[in-house]
Chain A
């Protein structure tokens, strides 16, 4: 099965503690929801193969702990990620206002600057919403991210979020190919005076 996999992508899930990062991941990978999902310690890891337009991509998804104290530990795992899902809880404004910090963290620790970012507002099944959809949209636009609202509990938007992200990564040239065909720099001067043509004063060898 691994043979027809086009590429392996590394994805990250980050955000404040308790916004439902692990639940989103569990919904995506196992299609289940566990109300008693325990708090992640350090980083956790899941794999899923996803087919996008006939191309299979293997996703290695790193789920991180949101607690302040773990932030000295988790960013080391940001290296080499091609995509990141930034999660906030629509019922908790503070999880939204802290997003800037997370973006800074990403900026500092990711190794590539063309990483694809997706903002996910989670827990839309709850009634006590504090963050309006438009606010999320505005934030995402400001930071050139993908945006979707989702609920790990009701499945809404979860599959879609991951698919969109992967699709976007596959569309970004140079982000996922193992062999980047960098354009070759050519200095016009280099070719001069070589080759079959007689250069210069014709009869001078």
Chain B
């Protein structure tokens, strides 16, 4: 430090830091950090960490920037997180922990740790390395400057944790460091060469280095503890190749089954997911005499090594089909272009130009080469498709989606279009198209509700899968846009021609599904109503011809099933027989009749009766009280509902608002009242209330004049309030059966609204709307694939993922960042499953020769290989798993070294010449001893040399301690 305070100095002496050099500032900053990180408090611990602590424990680090002049360094403290640290001053002559660790035998070759941990066995150290964008410390003087700085810092602070400086280029991983203790110090040095010098290519050479380095001139030589680890790498999997073939997209369309493949997501990796298998064979605790390893002979046979462990390296950036599909589709969600921008104006304009040369289109369609299974197609049913595609056929080259693909997809989406008209009753069996297994279905039932997607055999779900596939393999965004346009056109066609949309549950939109699904259902509602209306009108026309006009209520009994409707050919539900919602205008005759009726109720003919109600009779006559045929309330999709709620809420909470709300919603009440009046001529409000709101008709037993008890009823108090909405509405209600009322639900308008919405939907938004369905499908797929592999970690993750998706997909606005994370999780799960599959194939887990126990054992190894960094092979090379690994290496060796011709020769004789294992990819030799340095009378201190020998790397990492007491 610049201002070394003399303890006896005067109080008023000025401490001057102004002249402090950069170097001094750096040293003091490092000291500060060491203090801040509390590395100066030395504590006693049990001598060595537990066996395996470096594997099971987790490593922590904290870092800071430090500056040396304008040069930036990172200073990082690495440490093994330990349960409890025992504090307390160590005895004066206890060696620093780091020095004790140098000799610790329990944690050699930790599978996952900083390289300094592996080389020096340290559990705690500090590294100073050049900051990002700073050049490496190459020059020797700079290097020495840094080393002296840390030496100063260590000495000043009394810190016993070693500090390293990273020198030379980063990739070379060369560190120089120092550790200081009371009267002792250890220097850490590294030698790094490109080539292994031949004289050091074996154990005996390295022992020579070690001895000369520690400068031991004692006789006899102290014993050196030797630990050796050879690592063999298996990269060639030819002999046990990965079982999965990537799907051939080209054949997808040509197959007999048409578009069946569109209905499922692909799965699996496109390449071998396991890139390498590393086998580490270790010989721990050898002494010099036990084994011989020199330039001519070696005892080190991997098969005989007492300790084996394996690890696998998975392929980086493994391309997995499911993951790719989802990721690509997810990218669509962020696109902002409109359909027109994507396809260009020309495409949109040409939609309008109709030129119906159907015959040529048909001939094209029916060409023998057509990929669509013709047996299932009928000419007539294809006409409508053809009529539309013809336009695009004229500029096939420009259309983003191949016509054949498009046809197959449309056929898959609307399988009913393929049914031959002549054999109208023949239906395509659902199971053929949607082959989800029973098991999947049951778990799936719930899933679509959780994810707010759509049932797994619904049109929406299938559309999602098709769009996803089109996006991935048939032309990306333009093709998606194209398919969507065609899809909407088909929907419009169905609306205009009264064909129900196939593959949707009937009834009002299911608000638990995604909005798009609701829209489709809404359109179906419209088609259904329109169809009912059209059929009713036709029936009435027929009736009108046969009988006299205005035969009134009788018409309702006539069914329309005999009508040769095209749509009937496949539609199993025909519940729309009721005649409904005739326009009042073309019923002039009825009107007059009706007004007459109102004058004299007894002559008024009842209309639109559904059934008598509980044997009740009207209060003012003996006629039974009839429940009228009523209009169904208007179905709504969730966005409409939202809108409606907002409107209602906006009316405020005042009495006036309440009244307005009541009036707005009384349309349905009015309609019901009118129907009721029509069905029950001569009725009064009390009659209506008795049916509609029975509790508002209070009956009491009273004695009449003859002394008999009779029931006397009246409206409840709240119904009697003058001017309440019920009374008001009753008074304005005319006598009109439901079928002649104004429609509560304007199907034409609603259908057009839906279609407009669909047409205007940007492809990006479309993808967003369908994302829940895709994630739903992906989860189902993962579940299915996992169930065959049984990987516990993945199974658990799917569970968690589902509940997470539930939250993500139910929020009003998607959080794209978190959705992306979520998708990445799905991708990871897919990868793990493919890795497990690959490993199972390699380890022959499923092979028949393995009985249950071995199979179980193998399964366990596979699971741990996936979850742990390194797996110990119990029994090393002699056990079952060891033999399998051995065989893998033999196969790879033979494949690599034998030409195919040779294989025909006697394999037994041949194989003898080939070594079972390739040359080790890496050899690690760890030498340890404890000798006095620098003089024979000094304290005996730990010395260590870690040698790494590889094809293009030679590294010696030495830690040499010396007694500083007298030097």
- The yes or no answer to A171 lying at the interface (CB within 8 A) is no
Binary A-proximity of B415-448 (CB < 8 A = 1, otherwise 0)? 0000000000000000000000000000000000
A198 to B719 CA separation, bound complex (whole angstroms) = 82
Say yes or no: A202 contacts B726, CB within 8 Å.
no
Say yes or no: A203 contacts B717, CB within 8 Å.
no
> Which one of A71-79, A133-141, A162-170 is at the interface?
A71-79
Say yes or no: A199 contacts B112, CB within 8 Å.
yes
Q: Closest B residue to A10 by CB, please name it.
A: B645
Q: Which residues of B contact A182 (CB under 8 A)?
A: 803-804, 807-808, 818
Shortest Cβ distance from residue A195 to the other chain B in the assembled complex, whole angstroms: 9
- The yes or no answer to B159 lying at the interface (CB within 8 A) is no
- The yes or no answer to B716 lying at the interface (CB within 8 A) is yes
What are the 4 closest A-B residue pairs judged by CB atoms, nearest first?
Answer: A42-B665, A38-B724, A41-B662, A185-B800
Say yes or no: B653 contacts A29, CB within 8 Å.
yes
For this complex, into which size category does the number of interface residues on chain B fall?
Answer: 35 or more
Known: A35-B717, A45-B648, A67-B692. A188 touches B793 (CB 8 A): yes
Q: Which residues of A contact B953 (CB under 8 A)?
A: 203
- The yes or no answer to B852 lying at the interface (CB within 8 A) is no
Say yes or no: A198 contacts B666, CB within 8 Å.
no
Say yes or no: B114 contacts A183, CB within 8 Å.
no
Say yes or no: B118 contacts A202, CB within 8 Å.
yes
- The yes or no answer to A46 lying at the interface (CB within 8 A) is yes
Give chain A's interface secondary structure class.
Answer: loop
Give chain B's interface secondary structure class.
Answer: helix
- The yes or no answer to A104 lying at the interface (CB within 8 A) is no
- The yes or no answer to A200 lying at the interface (CB within 8 A) is yes
Say yes or no: B114 contacts A197, CB within 8 Å.
yes
Q: Which residues of B contact A197 (CB under 8 A)?
A: 59, 112-114
Say yes or no: A111 contacts B59, CB within 8 Å.
no
- The yes or no answer to A50 lying at the interface (CB within 8 A) is no
**6 residue pairs A–B, Cβ–Cβ below 8 Å:** A36-B718, A36-B721, A39-B718, A45-B657, A183-B800, A203-B948
Binary B-proximity of A56-94 (CB < 8 A = 1, otherwise 0)? 000010000001111011001101000000000000000
Binary B-proximity of A109-144 (CB < 8 A = 1, otherwise 0)? 101100000000000000000000000000000000
A185 to B823 CA separation, bound complex (whole angstroms) = 11
* B832 touches which of A185, A187, A205 (Cβ 8 Å): A187
A-side interface residues toward B, CB under 8 Å?
16-18, 29, 35-47, 60, 67-70, 72-73, 76-77, 79, 109, 111-112, 174, 178-180, 182-185, 187-190, 192-193, 196-205
Known: A46-B653, A47-B653, A182-B804. A38 touches B726 (CB 8 A): yes
- The yes or no answer to B486 lying at the interface (CB within 8 A) is no
Q: Closest A residue to B815 by CB, please name it.
A: A179
Known: A45-B649, A109-B511, A197-B114. A39 touches B924 (CB 8 A): no
Q: Pick the most buried of A76, A183, A199, A201: most chain B CB atoms within 10 A of its CB.
A: A201
Say yes or no: A190 contacts B828, CB within 8 Å.
yes
Q: Which residues of B contact A198 (CB under 8 A)?
A: 113-115, 118
Say yes or no: B672 contacts A69, CB within 8 Å.
yes
Q: Which residues of A contact B800 (CB under 8 A)?
A: 183, 185
Say yes or no: A201 contacts B693, CB within 8 Å.
no
Say yes or no: A45 contacts B717, CB within 8 Å.
no
Say yes or no: B828 contacts A187, CB within 8 Å.
yes
Say yes or no: A73 contacts B668, CB within 8 Å.
yes
Say yes or no: A18 contacts B832, CB within 8 Å.
no
Say yes or no: B797 contacts A16, CB within 8 Å.
no
Q: Which residues of A contact B803 (CB under 8 A)?
A: 182
- The yes or no answer to B866 lying at the interface (CB within 8 A) is yes
Q: Which residues of B contact A16 (CB under 8 A)?
A: 695
A201 to B230 CA separation, bound complex (whole angstroms) = 10
A198 to B114 CA separation, bound complex (whole angstroms) = 5
- The yes or no answer to B598 lying at the interface (CB within 8 A) is no
Say yes or no: A187 contacts B829, CB within 8 Å.
yes
Q: Which residues of A contact B693 (CB under 8 A)?
A: 17-18, 39, 67
- The yes or no answer to B550 lying at the interface (CB within 8 A) is no
- The yes or no answer to B939 lying at the interface (CB within 8 A) is no
Say yes or no: A201 contacts B511, CB within 8 Å.
no
Binary A-proximity of B552-574 (CB < 8 A = 1, otherwise 0)? 00000000000000000000000
